A and B are shown apart, each in its own frame.
Chain A
Amino acid sequence: MRRFVLGLITIIMAFVGLGLLGGMADAAYPERPITYVIAFNPGGESDITARAQQPYLEKILGTQIIITYKIGGGGAVGWSEIVRAKPDGYTICGHNIPHIIVQPLQRKDTGYKTSDLKTVCWFQATPNILVVPVNSPIKTLKDFVKYAKDHPGQVTLGGSGSYSANHLGTVEFNELAGINTVYIPFTGSGDAVPALLGGHVSGLMTYTSMYISYKDQMRALAVATDERLPLFPDVPTFKELGYNYVEGAYRGICVPPKTPDEIVNKLADAFRQVNETPQFKEMMEKMGFQLVFYGPEESKKFIEERAEYYKDLMDKLAIK
């Protein structure tokens, strides 16, 4: 017994020593591989985007980018972990609007607060797009609104998630058009598409990336952006048809709250360069993603204004 205890103590001392050695601070950033945490499932849009960015980031930052996953709760599990991670710039996490704004508003305990996440940048938007099956009798947005007005509560729109850009977008559009469509949430856009193809819902309020993938089987009625997208120039915007509806999900990068500004700026710069690389741009746009860029400072304003907007919308929803 005594030998056992002695052996135990020796081991523990040895590891304490090892652990102390490992924790020595490093000088120039980045010196070690950076972990890029994805809060969603592999194969999803966040994952595809990150993997597309990976080679360019590795070249620009000069270090390995390791992609790991922290799945659950619509991203909440991953974000609640990132706020507690070490703020040394070696762990970055993909985050999304409206999720990071809406989740703490709507749920009692998400494990993080919107203000806890320090945004490095927003680099991508996937705008909402309203689609119906390609063989649907509804041919234009006007047809859709008319049909919805004639059949209140009977038009079903599928989309990804509850309190997501799809969901909130449907609510917004309902308000603007004065119609009453029913939103049916699916777990992920990949779940919603079969529902449309099988005729179980009348249409989808989904993301442009989904529309691109299934272009031949869907008819796009309108897209929720300021201007028409070059990828499908004959799809009108809601705006030009008279509805001031611009909405979508934004993807960006965040780091733990106390991360030093120099590191944040360096990361933001790297992501900006990736966005400006022609091959990357082409690949992303072909998949239906819209490239935007908000740096650390602009992001703060962006989040605030979106937060206001969503808070308003949620209050309206709650009253209903």
Chain B
Amino acid sequence: MQAFINVLSVKNLLAMVLLIPLGMMAGALPGFTATMAVSILVPFTFVMNPVMGLICVSAVYCSAIYGGAFPAILINTPGTPSSIATCFDGYPMAQQGRAQEALFTIAFASLVGGFIGTVGLIAFSLPLAKVALKFGPPEYFWVSIFGLTIIAGLSGDSLLKGVAGGVLGLLISTIGIAPVGGDVRFTFGISSFQGGIELISVLIGFFCIPEVFKMARDPLSSYLKETQDMAKKEGYRSVILKGFRNAFADITNLIRSSVIGLFVGILPGAGGNIANLIAYNEAKRASKNPESFGKGNPQGIVATESADKGTIMGSFVPLLTLGVPGSPVAAVVYGALMIQGLNPGPELFTKHADITYTFMVSFFVAMALTVLIGMFAGMLFYQIIMRTPIRVLVPAILLLTIVGSYAVRNNYMDVVFMLGSGFLGYVLANLGFSPGPVVLGLVLGPIAEKGLVQGYLMGNSISPEMPWVIFFTRPISIILIIISIISALWPLYAAKRRRRAN
């Protein structure tokens, strides 16, 4: 309780209110990730006392992830990798004039996601952390295989092409240094490829650039015809209400997605990028009309946006309990804590319990404030995009995407690659390869490969004649394998169900 009071002090609230819009803008800029926003903030926290510093971190993190949904809905570009799946239904909604509805829907969904995440963090940290530790290389391999079975839900019309896209993504992810062995692979002579392909470049390239080119095709139209703007037609109150109803229409979806977010977030190294995709797929599977997903079904964005808020808190579970950072943001915070003299790990719950609990509670307050500010920010963004004529919008978006993809690693090749994948994405999309599976392969590739090779080394040391046995004999692995098989065979089951219904 004391923690709650700490968080609500005027100074802290003021800091949050100032930082949240900045974090939101950072998240909304495609290419500028939550990690970057937090790492820019961290040096400023050194001069603050630890509590305020941590509260600032939670404010920026929450708002950056929230902001990532804005471009996802409005221009089909995930502002942060946590919002990839938000594009799938968010953008179609925007194209139908329901952008405002979408923005309000995610507001309410995020609130619940944040709430469940914070509760999980405060109440279940230790048991969750213990479970997370049991995940070793073989388990991570199977997690990524499970992730790949999601391709079915993202493939659009052709499962075959979806799988091929996913494999292509896996292949592209191998560019760079091999996790085991240190080989330099597929750099094609370009030394900056040693660092591998930057996910952001491909995200922007696949999702945003084709849309920007399509906008250029019809430069005299505006982004949306005035007549189509639902919010204008029906008034804001009705749209807000619709958003609220959307979020709570399918409570199971809402809660399930938030929990998925929390769980996936606690796995060090897995994290926000895949949680939203998994939640999306589960929502689609559980839905009574899965074909409506991808065409503007609000449940899609409810699922993704509650999940990616859950991962925010989830990623701090390993950091606060075991001292192990569960995500790049947590790693940055780890560094900040060290400099402040706080040793991440069990000490945080004993010696510095008050700071830690304040930090955890601050997530909820930060999320609530973010949602509030976010609703206004969303409306503002929408008006800006709507009123900008296409001839200015196109170069402006290009400018932002160039800057965003450059800023991630200060690497100009990332910008070149972004444009290249833009053209590739345009061609592939028209040939029936949807971008989701490729991006999924790209995200999961490193996790899969690390799990595979490290697991092999482990298995080899236990039984050199049968090194692969280890992948099939550990309890969590077995559970994951079963889940993956069910998930992979699901499309057949669903098709049979549909035929029977007809």
> Chain A interface (Cβ within 8 Å of chain B)?
41-44, 47-48, 51-52, 54, 67-74, 76-77, 80, 106-111, 153-156, 161-163, 182, 184-187, 190-191, 193-195, 197-201, 213-214, 216-217, 287
Contact = CB atoms under 8 A, between A and B. Distances in A.
Contact of B177 (A73, A182, A184, A287): A73
Given A72-B409, A155-B461, A185 B180 contact: yes
Contacts of B462: 154
Q: How large is the interface on B (under 10, 10 to 19, 20 to 34, 35 or more residues)?
A: 35 or more
B325 interface: yes
A52 B194 contact: no
Interface stretch (B8-16, B65-73, B316-324, B356-364): B316-324
Contact of A43 (B184, B268, B332): B332
Q: Which of B42, B192, B462 has the most CB of A within 10 A?
A: B192
B467 to A, nearest CB: 11
Contact of B191 (A110, A155, A213): A110
Given A72-B194, A73-B194, A193-B324, 17 more contacts: A41-B328, A43-B333, A48-B338, A51-B43, A54-B43, A71-B195, A73-B176, A80-B191, A107-B182, A162-B179, A163-B182, A184-B458, A187-B450, A197-B133, A198-B135, A213-B345, A217-B322
Contacts of B491: none
B50 interface: no
Nearest to B130: A198
**Across chains A and B, which 7 residue pairs bring their CB atoms closest together, nearest first?**
A72-B195, A73-B194, A111-B191, A200-B136, A162-B182, A43-B331, A198-B133
Given A161-B182, A187-B179, A77 B191 contact: yes
Contacts of A197: 133, 322, 324
Contacts of A184: 137, 180, 454, 457-458
Contact of A156 (B189, B192, B461): B461
B216 to A, nearest CB: 18
Contacts of A187: 179, 450
B454 A43 contact: no
A44 B179 CA distance: 18
Interface in B401-455: 409-411, 450, 454
Given A72-B192, A77-B192, A186-B454, A153 B461 contact: yes
Nearest to B456: A184
B179 A185 contact: yes
Contact of B458 (A44, A156, A217): A156
A199 B462 CA distance: 14
Given A70-B409, A156-B458, A109 B335 contact: no
Contact of A44 (B133, B176, B322, B335): B335
Nearest to A162: B182
B134 A198 contact: yes
B18 to A, nearest CB: 22
Contact of B410 (A51, A68, A182): A68
Contacts of B395: none
Nearest to B470: A200
B339 interface: yes
B222 interface: no
Given A74-B177, A182-B460, A43 B335 contact: yes
B487 to A, nearest CB: 25
Contact of A287 (B46, B338, B345): B338
Interface of B: 35, 39, 42-43, 46, 132-137, 176-184, 187, 189, 191-192, 194-196, 268-269, 318, 322-325, 328, 331-336, 338-339, 343-346, 409-411, 450, 454, 457-458, 460-462, 464
A200 B182 contact: no
Nearest to B182: A162
Contacts of A185: 179-182, 454
A194 B176 contact: no
A213 B344 contact: yes
A149 to B, nearest CB: 15
Contacts of A156: 457-458, 461
Nearest to A108: B184
Nearest to A201: B458
A284 B8 CA distance: 35
Contacts of B338: 48, 213, 287
Contacts of B134: 198
Contacts of A48: 335, 338-339
Given A70-B409, A72-B176, A195 B137 contact: yes
Given A74-B177, A161-B182, A190 B324 contact: yes
A42 B36 CA distance: 9
B250 to A, nearest CB: 35
B469 to A, nearest CB: 14
Q: Which of B132, B189, B323, B345 has the most CB of A within 10 A?
A: B323
13 contacts: A43-B332, A71-B409, A72-B195, A73-B195, A76-B194, A77-B411, A155-B461, A186-B454, A194-B318, A194-B322, A195-B137, A200-B458, A217-B322
A108 B183 CA distance: 9
Nearest to A48: B335
A198 B460 contact: no
A76 B43 contact: no
A217 B194 CA distance: 35
A42 B181 CA distance: 24
Contact of B194 (A77, A191, A198, A199): A77
Contacts of B268: 190-191, 194
A163 B178 CA distance: 12
Nearest to B318: A194
Contacts of A73: 176-177, 184, 191, 194-196
Contacts of A193: 323-324
